[in-house]
Chains A and B, each alone.
Chain A
């Protein structure tokens, strides 16, 4: 290990920790870290810094009033837009009305109770010892366990490499249906992933906060996915992206 290797490694280990290196470079860095205590120490420090910034640094969400003023009718109601507004305000009101009507028709009434139930189930799963019926980080153990218990096949993958290890699975019951519930870890947090079959087509991702828990949901392949956790919204959304992309 010469000096240059260490200098290069001390920059690259950041890409290594951020999962941004191609496999060959990552392997080089890993090999160097295994052999060089000095770089390994730096690696551990940076890892500690990353985790603590993620966990401790405040995230400042936009105040609700800001969203309201940005998107208020004729929203950016300053200067250049005023002319525009004169013309388009009526059109815009009509569009808003149409949008409201569409949303009203399209939003199934059953949506919100499902989310509430999912949050309650998440809370229940953390009480006592009922998180998992099958405890395993091996998807080839967890997935077959569901066979015969469900009439659909939920996707089961382990995301340890990305920092979301699979902890296990259990059967749950939401909206009068048997539901697959997978649990994943994120640092010390637990993420519950509820998967239930639905007749409707795909639906885009939605994020909301219910009783302080972040809830991300979407529909794909005739399955409804609902993620509930107390991890940060951005992390939960990143995790949902992993699930959507598959392994």
Chain B
């Protein structure tokens, strides 16, 4: 039990933050972290040594997806969202100023992030909010390191479009 707490306690905030961003609500994030802790506890023997944060976040991520699947059907697994289409609608000349204005607005940033499919949202959360290196993100998300970079590239491009789209709806 001591070892369990030593391993997990330092990463409880990171776990909750990830679960909260993936599920989008507090009660679900709570349940997900509870369930993840239970799993981590059960599989403690199998965790030899190494990166406890990545290990625990991997469990939290899986639990979050289980919750998402159970609660929302499958629309969210939008790996192949076409992001190229809307781009032409915005003239290049106005995007820099617009973007500068929108990135100052915390509510818009949050709204735009939530609009991203979870697979893109999670890499941005792990990179920017947890400041995790690509190699750890690769472990958590279970993809090659090179894919972490391309997924971040896609995710950020989509985030930019979402921010610009929000302007149109204002």
By a beta-carbon cutoff of 8 Å, the part of chain A in contact with chain B is 10-12, 14-15, 18, 20, 41, 44-46, 48-54, 56-63, 66-67, 69-71, 75-76, 78, 80-81, 88, 92, 95-96, 99, 233-235, 238
Closest CB of chain A to B6's CB: distance in Å? Answer: 10
Task: Decide if B30 touches A61 in the complex (CB within 8 Å).
Answer: no
Closest CB of chain A to B37's CB: distance in Å? Answer: 5
By a beta-carbon cutoff of 8 Å, the part of chain B in contact with chain A is 1-2, 4-5, 8-9, 12-17, 20-21, 26, 29-30, 33-34, 37-38, 41-42, 95-96, 99-100, 103-106, 109-110, 113, 124-125, 127-131, 133-134, 149-150, 152-153, 156, 159-160
Give the nearest-CB partner of B151 in chain A. A14
Task: Decide if A53 touches B113 in the complex (CB within 8 Å).
Answer: yes
Collect the chain A residues with CB atoms within 8 Å of residue B125's CB. Answer: 57
Pairs across A and B, CB under 8 Å, 9 listed:
A49-B156, A49-B160, A52-B104, A57-B125, A57-B128, A59-B13, A59-B129, A70-B12, A78-B38
Q: B110 contacts which of A45, A57, A80, A238 (Cβ < 8 Å)?
A: A57
Collect the chain B residues with CB atoms within 8 Å of residue A99's CB. Answer: 2
Closest CB of chain A to B105's CB: distance in Å? Answer: 7
How many angstroms between the C-alpha atoms of A50 and B127 in the bound complex?
Answer: 9
Task: Decide if B12 touches A62 in the complex (CB within 8 Å).
Answer: yes
Task: Decide if A56 touches B13 in the complex (CB within 8 Å).
Answer: no
Contacts A20-B133, A20-B149: A66 and B106 contacting too (C-beta < 8 A)? no
How many angstroms between the C-alpha atoms of A68 and B5 in the bound complex?
Answer: 11
Question: At the interface, is chain A mostly helix, strand, loop or mixed?
Answer: helix
Task: Decide if B37 touches A70 in the complex (CB within 8 Å).
Answer: yes
Give the nearest-CB partner of B106 in chain A. A56
New A-B contacts (18) at CB < 8 Å, excluding given A41-B96, A57-B106, A62-B33: A10-B153, A18-B134, A45-B160, A50-B128, A51-B103, A52-B104, A52-B109, A56-B106, A56-B109, A57-B125, A60-B16, A60-B17, A62-B12, A67-B12, A70-B8, A70-B33, A76-B37, A81-B41
How many angstroms between the C-alpha atoms of A105 and B88 in the bound complex?
Answer: 67
Task: Decide if B8 touches A58 in the complex (CB within 8 Å).
Answer: no
Task: Decide if A70 touches B153 in the complex (CB within 8 Å).
Answer: no
Give the nearest-CB partner of B8 in chain A. A70
